[in-house]
Structure formats: C-alpha cells, structure tokens
C-alpha cells in the first residue's frame, strides 16, 4: 500500500483547522460540542487519582517466557491480562519518541480514530493535541505505518504464533497499528475484533488500562456505558470507572515505557492516555472455536483465503479440523437459508 499524500509545505492555519474539523466530523458525527464536560479543566486531579489506583496484575519477564508456557498460562485458558518486562531490545530500532517521529514524519499524513478514520498531517495533529480543550481528543491509529520504513522491531517469541499470518498479507484485515495520543485521548470500552488476542508495547508515555470481567451480560455492559456509539475513553472513565472498578474480576493497571501489555481475546477493556503516549500494537489469532466462528461470519473472504492456506501450511491438525468444522456449519446454514 502506498502512503497518502504529504502535507503541503504552505498549508495555512485555516487549512489545518479545516482538516481537524473534518476529522472530528468523521470521528463523532453526532457530537457538536467536544468540550461539554469540561474534563480538561479537572484533568490534573483526575490524572493523579488514576495513577494512584490499580490492581495487582501478573508480571512476567520476556527471558522467562516460552511459547508453550505463555499459551498454557494465558491464551488457552482465558487467562488474565499481564505485563511483560524486558522487551526493550526487541524495539530498540524504532523511533524513540514522539519528537523523533515528528522529525522524521512531520509532513506525513496519518490515520486517526481507526481503520476508516480521516487522514491528518502529523504536525497538524500534534498542534491540535497540544492546545485542545476537548474532553477526549482524537488520537492517531495508523495501520499502514510499516509502509514508512523505520519501524524495525521483533515480535517476542512467546507471541510468535499467529494463525492469521498464514494468509497472504494483502488479504489479511488490519492487525498492527501505530498509536499516538495526547492526554485524555484513548479508546473506549471494546472487545478486539474476530476474537483475537493483542499486545501493546509502550515506547513513551503512561497508559491507564481497565479490563472488565469477561462474564458480564449485554445488559450489565450497557449499565456500564458500553454500547454503540462507543463512549470516548476520557468520558467513560469519568462517568463509569468507579462503578466498574468495584466489580469482582475487574483489573486495572498503569502501563509504563518499556512494558508490554497482553490483552486476552474476548475481554472488554478501555485505555486512557495519562500523558503523551506512543505505542505499537498487534492483534493476533489463536484459532479457537470462537475466533474461527467470528472470522467466518465477519470476514468471510479472508476466512476462505486463510482456509486455502492450511493444507500446505504447518498449522496443527486440530487447527485445520476446527476451520473445516465451521466451514461445514457455515455452508450448511447458508444452504438452509437459501432453500427457505
């Protein structure tokens, strides 16, 4: 994929403002007042309170983790989120800070919000995020950052199994992102797509995480402000965090530079940037029944492409059997619907 156009050197302030307003309109089309809650005015006390509250989370060191140990402890049994230390060497060749990114890519457009968000110049976004009084400023979530070059890093070996990587990269749904956000930006409560697991490595900043109990019903989640459209992270933390934190099974943590956070598949979670933050993240697939079923329904073309790679791949027989089982069920259901 080619990178989008560079920001014009003679872009005026008015043009920059138009670019920001267009991005806001695409991000939250129903929102007419981005600062109505006044969260910027109380941000420092909110930040201090969130820094001081966390729960005990499993911590691991990358040197002590094997693929088998991690899978058995966390992935295969619906295990908890965890923090992994010691990954710095794997990411030593990526730009070291947001300032370094501005120096290298200040004239480049990046995508904000998500895979379908607007494109905004890095310097334009930085100027906006540095001065805004918005309750929940938009952040950069760019899935095409690898096209730029300059982001050489190694995925930790204990996270090296990724069934979706068996398919051609051009057929695969977006799975890796560059995350850049100013204070109060973040991601509201969500579950990662296609029942994938995820990891997030923090290069710079502080991220406040909350993981809700995985057993909550739809009505219980709705009572915690979870639904469509997604409530921005800063507003969700202000309105619902205390209620969610009181639930048995809720996990909270503050992620610091050099730490990698593992996100279990199917676990509702939200993230809030407590200061300027820069991270890299991957979603990856362990072909559980839930992952296979979700992918076959939500990404049928990719699922069929993935299925086609399995006979010649090194995928375990149990993986191939799981895929074929759901292909059979899906095709049978389609036949019933067609006849009906």
Structural domain containing residue 296: 289-339
Q: What is the pLDDT of residue 340?
A: 28
Q: What is the pLDDT of residue 123?
A: 97
Compute the distance between CA of residue 16 and CA of residue 11 in angstroms, rounded to an integer.
7
Compute the distance between CA of residue 291 and CA of residue 265 in angstroms, rounded to an integer.
9
Same domain (yes/no): 90, 131? yes
Same domain (yes/no): 117, 43? yes
| Overall number of domains in the chain | 2
Residue 214 lies in a domain: yes
Same domain (yes/no): 105, 224? yes
Residue 4 lies in a domain: no
Residue 104 lies in a domain: yes
Assign residue 192 the CATH number of its domain.
Answer: 2.60.120.650
Per-residue pLDDT of 241-273, as tens digits, reads: 999 999 999 999 999 999 999 999 999 999 999
Q: What is the pLDDT of residue 61?
A: 98
Same domain (yes/no): 333, 268? no
Q: What is the pLDDT of residue 1?
A: 41
Q: What is the pLDDT of residue 337?
A: 32
**pLDDT under 70: residue ranges of the chain:** 1-14, 114-116, 289-290, 293, 310-340
Residue 305 lies in a domain: yes
Classify strands 176-181 and 260-263 as parallel, antiparallel or unpaired.
unpaired
Q: What residues contact residue 202 under an 8 Å CB cut-off, 6+ apart? A: 255, 256, 257, 258, 259, 260, 261, 277, 278, 279
Same domain (yes/no): 71, 121? yes
- Strands in the chain per DSSP E: 59-61, 82-85, 109-111, 119-121, 140-142, 176-181, 186-190, 197-204, 207-211, 251-255, 260-263, 269-273, 277-284
Q: What is the pLDDT of residue 5?
A: 45
Same domain (yes/no): 305, 236? no
Q: Tell me which of 284, 307, 327 is where a domain ends.
A: 284
Q: What is the pLDDT of residue 263?
A: 98
CA distances (Å), origin 11, targets 102, 103, 171, 264: 16, 18, 36, 43
Same domain (yes/no): 119, 226? yes
Q: Tell me which of 244, 263, 284 is where a domain ends.
A: 284
Per-residue pLDDT of 158-212, as tens digits, reads: 998 888 888 887 888 899 999 999 999 999 999 998 889 999 999 999 999 999 9
Q: What is the pLDDT of residue 297?
A: 73
Q: Tell me which of 267, 284, 301 is where a domain ends.
A: 284
Residue 243 lies in a domain: yes
Residue 98 lies in a domain: yes
Same domain (yes/no): 267, 310? no
Same domain (yes/no): 153, 193? yes
Please spell the DSSP secondary structure of 110-124, one letter per residue: EEBSSTT--EEEHHH
Q: For residue 202, what are its two tokens?
A: 């923090």
């Amino acid at each position: 994929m080619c990178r989008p156009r560079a920001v014009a050197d003679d872009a005026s302030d008015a043009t920059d403002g138009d670019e920001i307003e267009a991005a806001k309109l695409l991000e939250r089309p129903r929102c007419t007042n981005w600062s109505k809650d006044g969260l910027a005015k109380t941000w420092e006390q909110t930040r201090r309170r969130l820094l001081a509250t966390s729960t005990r989370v499993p911590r691991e060191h990358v040197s002590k983790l094997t693929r088998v140990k991690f899978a058995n402890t966390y992935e295969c049994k619906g295990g908890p989120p965890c923090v992994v230390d010691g990954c710095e060497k794997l990411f030593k060749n990526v730009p070291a800070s947001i300032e370094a990114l501005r120096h290298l890519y200040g004239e480049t457009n990046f995508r904000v919000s998500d895979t379908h968000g607007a494109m905004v110049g890095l310097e334009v976004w930085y100027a906006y995020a540095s001065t805004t009084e918005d309750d929940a400023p938009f952040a950069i979530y760019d899935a095409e950052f690898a096209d730029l070059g300059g982001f050489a890093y190694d995925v930790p070996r204990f996270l090296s199994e990724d069934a979706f990587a068996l398919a051609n990269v051009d057929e695969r749904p977006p799975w890796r992102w560059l995350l850049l956000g100013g204070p109060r930006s973040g991601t509201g409560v969500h579950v990662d797509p296609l029942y994938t697991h995820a990891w997030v490595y923090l290069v710079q900043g502080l991220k406040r995480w909350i993981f809700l109990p995985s057993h909550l019903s739809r009505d219980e989640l709705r009572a915690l402000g979870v639904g469509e459209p997604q409530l921005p992270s800063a507003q969700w933390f202000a309105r619902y965090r205390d209620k969610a934190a009181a639930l048995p099974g809720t996990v909270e943590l503050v992620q610091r530079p050099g730490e990698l956070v593992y996100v279990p598949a199917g676990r509702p979670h939200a993230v809030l940037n407590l200061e300027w933050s820069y991270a890299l993240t991957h979603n990856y697939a362990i072909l559980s029944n839930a992952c296979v079923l979700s992918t076959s329904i939500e990404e049928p073309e990719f699922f069929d492409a993935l299925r086609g790679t399995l006979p010649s791949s090194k995928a375990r027989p149990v993986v191939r059997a799981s895929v074929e089982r759901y292909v059979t069920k899906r095709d049978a259901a389609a036949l019933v619907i067609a006849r009906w």
